[in-house]
Structure 1
Amino acid sequence: MARFKENDLPKSKITATSLNKALIIFKYAGNHKWKFYVGLVFLLFTGATALAFPKLMGMLIDCVKNKDMSQANYIALGLVVILFMQSIFSFFRLYLFVNFTEHTLANLRLALYSNLVKLPMSFFSQKRVGELNSRISSDITQIQDTLTSTIAEFLRQFILIIGGVLLLANESIKLTLLMLSVVPLVAVAAVIFGRFIRKYSKSVQDKVAESQVIVEETMQGISIVKAFANEWYEIARYNGKIKEVVTIAIKGGKYRGYFASFIIFCLFGAIVAVVWFGVRLSISGEMSVGQLISFVLYSTFVGASFGGIAELYAQIQKAIGATERVFELLDESPEKINSVQNAATQKIKGDVTFKNVEFSYPSRKEIKVLKDVNFTAKFGQKIAIVGPSGTGKSTIASLLLRFYNVDSGEILVDGKNIYNFDLEQLRGNMSIVPQDVILFGGTIKENIAYGKPDASEAEILLAAKQANAYNFIESFPEKFETLVGERGIKLSGGQRQRIAIARALLKNPSILILDEATSSLDSESEKLVQEALEILMEGRTSIIIAHRLSTIRSADQILVLDNGTISEQGTHQELITLENGIYKNLSNLQFSNS
């Protein structure tokens, strides 16, 4: 898939509705709005001083004919003052717009991230992380560029066109009519040509991005490429893409050549026509040489502004599109999380009951993942859930954590429906140790403390010891300050698992969910992790999702899930006596292989 680039951002038509939507962004400016308005005042001053420049230049040149040295000095001084004022106005304009934009976007980014983090799991199961990243990066960068410079530049060009044409008419109506019939036509043609060339540039970028994807895929899966001896295949795949890049780039180059020829001939031809006609008017005494110079400078201003304003308008369209997409995300309804920090400290006991629970994922409504699931886990009990892959074992954990809403039936904790709990209180009393542990890219200490951010050094140390993690942590040169790398990549599977157990211990939950916590470990790591899990499960309700039956023999109750329903229920001893039972077959398979 080609990378999502800023110049690929879709545009939005500028209508009253889309403008009103985009203007909501000012709500995030807080008490910095005044900077934008003062910046606009400085922008007007910049435009006004820019328009005074050609007039004074013309007057300075006319001093040659009048042989007036003192007037020439005054005008030159006036030009220096205007340039000085323009540079001051430009500084304040830029400084105020950047200041306004950065404060506004910081508030917008925070609001967007805060809303994203609070959105329900059903939202994330339907969106790609790359797409969300693009909203926070590409879309907000587009808004940033527009607020910082594009709007200001658009207004400046607009002032130069209107002011320039009025001042041109003041110098010579005949010459203005000639200029307005030639220069805008050339400028518009240049814009259309430019857009056509950009289409080719974009195609080249897309193909280069596709070729980069091949490089990335090959490098990431280099062991597979080599194992299959498929280097030749990857080289051929890359070569094919590179050839496509060359073909499109050469075609684009040809059109760029046409464009350069067109610009040289038409644009400079237009300037020649205007100057030629101006010289004729000067010779006939209808205008002075200075007026002609002023006229040429104003024509250049107007022509350049005509050429630039179309591109700036397109940028503003993209920014409005970007603003709409950002606000779409902000309009998504978050989970109702109580932000009171002590909500999690209101302890719940830990009795769990599933009553006639039915569920299907929002993206696959037609497939019932759970059908009429009933079971009870009393405080302190170990309830194991086993069964073939895809039967809904992990779904039970997701429903208990309220990642998704049940379709029918109810889940009770301490006799109270889980939807009547404050979400933070409910999850604050639960901990999960997943099969694929995700650690954050900080230190070991920070990852353990994730279970209780205000934990003391002594509490973190104790949790590490109880999780059988202390010894391996101490063996690192930086000990608890060791950086774990992205997603914990610098640690082995068993080490990551024990960090996750320490994290869960520190949280001290009433309900513990172990989602196949030892399935991907070697026997030595499994022994250490299993010991740590035994300590972790003491004095709390444990729901164990397991593949390896050896880890759940001591469970108080084992539920066998098959095709979304609980087909068998009982202790290990009871279930292995069931003739042709699923658990008995799974047990025989595993223990005969081990």
Structure 2
Amino acid sequence: MSDQTSEAQAEGRPSVGAELAQSLATEGQRRGKSRNVRALGRLIPFARAHLTDALLALVFLVFTASATLGISGALRLLVDHLTGQGGEAPTVRSVAPWFWLLSSVAVALAVGSALRYFFVTKLGERIVADLRKAVYRHILTLDPAFFLQTRTGEVLSRLTTDVQIVENLLATSISFALRNLLTLVGALVLLVIVSPQLTGLVLLVFPVVLAPLFLFGRQVRKLTTSAQDKFAAAVGFAGESLDALETVQAFGRERTAAERFGAAVEDSFATSLTRMRARALMTAMVIALVFGGIVFVFWLAVGAGLRGEMSWGQLFQFAFLAVMAGSSVGALGEVWGEVQKAAGAMERIAGLLDARPGIAPPAKPVPLPRPRGDVAFEAVTFAYPGRPDLPALKGFSLHVHPGERVALVGPSGSGKTTVFRLLLRFYDPQAGRVVLDGVDLRDADPAEVRARLALVAQDSALFSGSAAENVRFGREDASPEAILAAVRAAQAESFLEALPQGLDTPVGERARGLSGGQRQRLAIARALVREAPVLLLDEATSALDAENERLVQEALDRAMEGRTTLVIAHRLATVLKADRIVVMEEGRVVEEGTHHDLVAKGGLYARLAALQFGEAA
């Protein structure tokens, strides 16, 4: 376990596993109360943003449904003509126009179906693309407190797998469902016109058909949500294992990790299998009830035709419409399972969209004055969410003047990293205030606050892409000249120029193609190009060997010139060069002064210096 992880636990942050369990339990209770597909209503604003495509999709849906129903009318006219009920004996010449009519309707149906597919699919794909962007954009606004409760793998599962389920509904199933729904309504209207009495019998079948739809549909939705939760847990574990793959392999735990992931996947599959059984049974019951009812009604229709109560053309039209209505109901029964599945997925996505960050810009943020780098903590008390009884800072006060270098030292759990988190406004204190250039951070826009800060952590996160792209991450509008100047100042030019494509060389995922010292210097270059007035160094050299520490320290010395600098440090070189050393214990400032003054006092710092620096203290 790293020093930072130990410090996080000591500072009272909640157990991630416990918080995740609580989060999932709360969400499970919320889902248990949901008894319909209202979650899919969250897609309406996305559809409204593309109203033209939505209207065109609706027009061609109505057109194709009308063309499908028009075939029944053309068929009725043809049969009446063939049976002589049209007033004249049929001939090859007289029959031809009716076949031309059938062909015309078929061509119109083909063209309308193509346009319907295009516009419905385009609309569905557009909605899903907007949904993906909206979910990811919202995730980026959530504060660290949210990710203490929900693992990254869980979030990624909702962003990928759940959105894919919704995409399947919108891109294919919804078109199929709407077409069948319009066909069903149109067929019922025409059935009433053809034979009201027999249509009444058809309608009596519908309640019997709809019962299994709702009975099994609800179960399908719940099982889908459960399966996705279990799969998300598997993805979360896989993400953790792959992120620490070297550790897994170093301890020979590949089989254990594979077995845990396999067990989670099998658990998800077992739930999916139960869902598939329920949906298969629902489909079988719907089709059996629909077509059983149609056969019965058709038998009655044939009797009416034989008694002369309706023409054979009417009989054929009624039979065609009845089969069409039955097929539509059966198709809707199948699609209903997809709708329930998508509703379960959309509930999980909505859980992300409904999450609100605890840190947000005020309604009228106070603009920050000209950058000076003046930092102050005034009687700050702070406890991490879920652990109010164990504050990480207790009445903490500190004033860092513009351009001053201040080192924070103290045992693990004393609150050093918490100071940085509050200054970056990842959290707000429960008491006291944090002030930057004279403005309380709670009154300012967090984005404006963070624009004045540059962070170099012990294990700085870098990204796939080139070295230049990683440096530009510090300031998006940085010119190539500014990037090169930052690289030189960070002592990174020599090793970057030795790469095959120089600064444009891809450095691999998380820059694993570079050594630890090279990554740190690249992170320092990223902080330098930011040109921020306040520099935060969180044990930036503690994990480096002597040679890399010397290079990185030289880069840090340049980075600190002309900037207010707060340093969390255990290394003697950094501490000696600080203008002031602030010693922390249990969330409070217990000593302040220079290295020599504090050693002479013989207090906590002297003991820490003796332990860490030996005789060099």
TM-score of the pair, normalised by structure 1: 0.81
In the alignment, what sits opposite 1:537?
560
Matched, 1:583 2:605: yes
The CA distance in 2 between the partners of 1:488 and 1:457, in whole Å, is 20
Query: Which residue pairs with 1:60 in the alignment?
Result: 78
Letter in 1 for 2:208: L
Q: Is the partner of 1:528 in helix, strand or coil?
A: helix
Alpha-carbon distance between aligned partners in 2 of 1:245 and 1:378, rounded to the nearest angstrom: 56
Matched, 1:164 2:187: yes
Q: Report the AA paired with residue 612 of structure 2.
A: Q
Is residue 381–residue 542 contact of structure 1 (8 Å, CA) maintained in 2?
yes
- Between 1:403-412 and 1:198-207, the stretch displaced more is 198-207
Alpha-carbon shift at residue 200 of structure 1 (Å): 7.8
Secondary structure of the corresponding residue to residue 601 of structure 2: coil
Question: How many Å apart are 1:38 and its aligned residue?
Answer: 3.8
Match for 1:472: what amino acid? F
Q: Is the 1:336–1:423 Cα contact (8 Å) retained in structure 2? A: no
Which of 60, 69, 72 is residue 42 of structure 1 equivalent to? 60
Give the Cα separation in 2 of the matches to 1:260 and 1:421: 57
Distance in 2 between residues matched to 1:460 and 1:424, nearest whole Å: 22
Query: Quick one: structure 1 residues 74 and 332, their matched pair in 2 at CA, closer, same or farther if it must change by over 3 Å?
Result: farther
* Per-residue deviation, 1:107: 5.4
Residue aligned with 1:500, SS: helix
Of residues 383, 398, 421, the one that matches 1:398 is 421
Deviations 1:511-530 (A, max 9, x none): 11101101122222212111
1:356 equivalent in alignment to 2:382: no
Q: How do 1:103-502 residues align onto structure 2 when only pairs under 5 Å count?
A: 110=133, 113-133=136-156, 136-137=159-160, 153-173=176-196, 175-182=198-205, 185=208, 188-189=211-212, 269-310=292-333, 312=335, 321=347, 325=351, 328-329=354-355, 334-335=360-361, 347-419=370-442, 423-502=446-525
Equivalent pair of 1:183/1:303 in contact (CA under 8 Å): no
Deviations 1:423-460 (A, max 9, x none): 44433232111112112322110111222322232222
Q: Give the distance between the partners of 2:557 and 2:244, measured in 1 at CA.
A: 38
Q: Which moved more, 1:46-55 or 1:351-360?
A: 351-360
- Distance in 1 (alpha carbons) for counterparts of 2:244 and 2:206: 56
Aligned residue for 2:600, secondary structure, equals: coil
AA in 1 matched with 2:373: G
Offset of residue 370 of structure 1: 0.9
**Alpha-carbon distance, 1:289 to partner:** 4.4
Pick one of 593, 596, 600 that aligns with 1:570.
Answer: 593
Distance across 1 between alignment mates of 2:150 and 2:281: 44
Distance in 1 (CA, whole Å) between partners of 2:323 and 2:543 is: 71
Q: Is the contact between residue 359 and residue 425 of structure 2 (CA under 8 Å) also seen in structure 1?
A: no
Structure 2 distance, partners of 1:549, 1:371, is 27
1:82 aligns with 2:105: yes
Equivalent position SS for 1:491: coil
Sort the Cα spacing of 1:430 and 1:180 in 2 relative to 1 into closer, same or farther, 3 A. Answer: closer
Find the aligned partners of 2:123 and 2:274 in 1 and give their Cα distance. Answer: 43
- Structure 2 contact 279–337 (Cα < 8 Å) conserved: no
Q: Structure 1 residues 13 and 411 mapped into 2: Cα distance closer, same or farther (>3 Å)? A: same
Q: Bigger CA drift: 542-551 or 107-116?
A: 107-116
Q: Evaluate the alpha carbon distance shift between residue 204 and residue 518 of structure 1 in structure 2; reply closer, same or farther with a 3 A threshold.
A: closer
Q: How does 1:499-518 map to 2 (within 5 A)?
A: 499-518=522-541
CA contact (8 A) 1:22 1:324 kept: no
Residues 384 and 193 (structure 1 numbering): CA distance in 2 closer, same or farther, change over 3 Å? closer
Contact 2:36/2:218 (8 A) holds in 1: no
Q: Which runs of 5+ in 1 are unaligned?
A: none
Q: Which amino acid aligns with 2:54?
A: F
Residues in 2 aligned to 1:243 and 1:513: alpha-carbon distance in whole angstroms: 46
In structure 2, relative to structure 1, the CA distance for the partners of 1:71 and 1:217 (3 Å cut) is farther
Q: Aligned-pair RMSD on alpha carbons?
A: 4.5
- 1:419 CA drift (Å): 4.8
Unaligned runs of 5+ in 2: 1-19, 85-89
Structure 1 Cα separation of the partners of residues 445 and 269 of structure 2:
59
The SS at the match of 1:468 is coil
**Residues 1:167 and 1:527: Cα distance change in structure 2 (over 3 Å):** same
Deviates more, 1:408-417 or 1:464-473: 408-417
Instruction: Give the residue type in structure 2 aligned to 1:59.
Output: L
The 3 A distance-change label for structure 1 pair 513 and 301 is same
1:150 is displaced (CA, Å) by 5.5
Cα offset for 1:546?
Answer: 1.2
Tell me how far apart the structure 1 counterparts of residues 404 and 431 of structure 2 sit (CA, whole Å): 26
Amino acid at match of 2:498: S
Counterpart contact for 1:115–1:334, Cα < 8 Å? no
Report the more deviating stretch, 289-298 or 42-51: 289-298
Length-normalised TM-score, structure 2: 0.78
SS of residue in 2 equivalent to 1:464? helix
- 1:371 and 1:146 mapped to 2: Cα distance? 53
Quote the Cα distance in structure 2 between the aligned partners of 1:146 and 1:254: 20
- Report if aligned partners of 1:161, 1:302 keep a CA contact under 8 Å in 2: yes
